[in-house]
Amino acid sequence: MAKTYSYVVLVGGKIVYRGKNLKKMLKEARKKYPGKQISIRCEYPEEILVAIIQL
C-alpha cells in the first residue's frame, strides 16, 4: 500500500507506467499500444478515507 496517492497506467491488466506525469504516460501508452484498452489506477494511501464533498 502506498504512503501517498500514486498513479499507474495499465494495458491488458498489466502495469506499463508508474509515475507522476499521468498525461505523458497516457499519451505514450496510447502510442505504444494502439487499439488496446488503457486503464488508469489510483492507488490510495493507508488511511481512513472519508469523502464528504460539498460544493
Residues of the shown chain interacting with other proteins in the complex, contacts defined by CB under 8 A: 1, 4-5, 7, 10, 20, 22-23, 25-27, 30, 37-44, 46-55
Answer whether 15's CB lies under 8 Å from 42's CB: no
Least distance CB 48 / other proteins (angstroms): 6
For residues 33 and 7, what is the distance between their CA atoms, to the nearest angstrom? 19
Least distance CB 46 / other proteins (angstroms): 4
Least distance CB 16 / other proteins (angstroms): 13
Answer whether 16's CB lies under 8 Å from 33's CB: yes
